[in-house]
Amino acid sequence: MESVWFSTTGSANPRCGFLAVLLLSLLLCSTFSSTEAYDALDPTGNITIKWDVISWTPDGYIAVVTMYNFQQYRHIQAPGWILGWTWAKKEVIWNVVGGQTTEQGDCSRFKGNIPHCCKKDPTVVDLLPGTPYNQQIANCCTGGVLTSWAQDPEHAITSFQLSVGSAGTTNKTVKLPRNFTLKAPGPGYTCGPAKIVKPTKFITKDKRRTTQALMTWNVTCTYSQFLAQKTPTCCVSLSSFYNSTIVNCPTCTCGCQNKTEPGSCVDPNSPHLASVVSPPGKAINTPLVRCTNHMCPIRVHWHVKLQYKEYWRIKITITNFNYMVNYSQWNLVVQHPNFDNVTQVFSFNYKPITPYVGLNDTGMLWGVKFYNDLLTSAGPLGNVQSELLFRKDKSTFTFDKGWAFPRRIYFNGDNCVMPPPDAYPWLPNASSRLVFPLLSTFFGTLYCVVMLLT
């Protein structure tokens, strides 16, 4: 058998070896799906849905449903999450607090009191901010927006309460819902089956008494960028102080301009721009992305700005080319080997992402609250920027062969397309590399002397 797998010159038939390898390839392809949601930078990231039965009713139970966004850098922005499932029996929802179903369904079989929802497959959404207090519970009413766990764990949780009827009234008669779906706000999440776990324990406000749920089950949902968006949503451009070349995003990264159709993108120089771009919330038929060579809604520009004796400095600019979308609570995840020597980050928040012990080459950046945490739609104000200062590690630091540029960049959890490595700005030859710092130091000193004399 060994000769069949590894030899094509021995006594075994080469055709058998080819067929064996082909069969193995088919098995591997069937085992690993392209929609696999594993994220190497956030291997334990998921959204966990906890369903706690807190009391029984004459025909069912009251439950608190809580969603925890355990993803480090992927959040849910407006218009928010939509949670759905399929009832196992003929359950109905009598009432919802802190949320609402999108449809009532057919409740004609009920006389007198009409349930909130009679659908076999209900979908629930969060309530908006400003909801009356008598319709709220803790961690509700944010319009379905969930922050990432690393940015703001306090607001990475949302809850609503259900009163379920026509269901079981004991742990043995209650049937778990099936086919959970989570849209945030579009597809992208795959949810596993509900599993009964140990009942959740609750501590009273005075911390002197502990109660527990009558029954608890969990559902885990994981994210796949392939399911959410088959085409890229962002790209990266590069530049440096030592080379005049500006490397733009690759052409047609997120799509190509259709020159045969005038409405394929929005021309920023159009005199009728205001009429082309409709107000937010209004349904339109024209694309909303500004006309560019890359056609991406988001571009991240990495500029190697300066170098000092012991440090070097870069500038990051994030530009929004989408005329209709404001990116609230945006974040950026960057991989670079020098992130273990970050000295200072200006005007952005920073947190290292270290999924593996001993490896610190990834950093997470996001805006300062009430200052630049909102990336507004395309226009003069449609960008945010910051600078990062790194300490030089003499054993690894170099500007040669594109070392100063990032290995990978994510915007809001989606992988951004990088330029090809052979297009990176190259370092000048060795002689100019030595002359440049000397000249810059000389002219800097001369400038200071002149300013003092004047």
Which of 193, 196, 240, 228 is closest to 215 using CA atoms?
A: 196
End-to-end CA distance of the chain: 88
**pLDDT of res. 260:** 63
**pLDDT of res. 454:** 40
For 279, the token pair is 């107000």
Farthest CA pair distance, the chain: 94
**pLDDT of res. 7:** 37
231-256+287-423 has the same fold as 46-227? yes
Phi, psi at 20, each rounded to 5°? -65, -45
pLDDT along the chain (454 residues), means of 10: 38 48 44 52 93 96 97 92 96 96 94 94 96 93 94 95 94 95 90 96 91 96 84 94 93 83 75 65 62 94 94 96 91 94 94 86 93 91 95 90 94 94 82 44 42 39
**pLDDT of res. 258:** 76
Chain mean position to CA 415? 9
Which of 242, 285, 256, 239 is closest to 406 using CA atoms?
A: 239
Which of 115, 14, 1, 104 is closest to 60 using CA atoms?
A: 115
Give Cβ neighbours of residue 180 (< 8 Å, ≥ 6 apart). 49, 83, 84, 85, 191, 192, 193, 194, 219, 221
Q: Which residue has the tokens 């911390």?
A: 207
For 274, the token pair is 């205001």
> pTM for this structure?
0.80
Q: Which residue has the tokens 């805006």?
A: 367
> What is the phi-psi region of residue 8: left when phi exceeds 0, alpha when psi lies from -120 to 50, beta otherwise?
alpha
- Residue range 231-256+287-423 in CATH 1.10.10.10: no
**pLDDT of res. 196:** 96
> What is the Cβ-side half-sphere exposure of residue 119, based on CA atoms within 13 angstroms?
15
Which of 355, 354, 350, 358 is closest to 390 using CA atoms?
A: 350
Would you kindly state where each structural domain of the chain is located, as residue ranges? 46-227, 231-256+287-423
CATH number belonging to domain 46-227: 2.60.40.290
**pLDDT of res. 379:** 85
CA distances from 305 to 302, 313, 338, 341 (A): 9, 6, 15, 17
d(CA 229, CA 223): 11
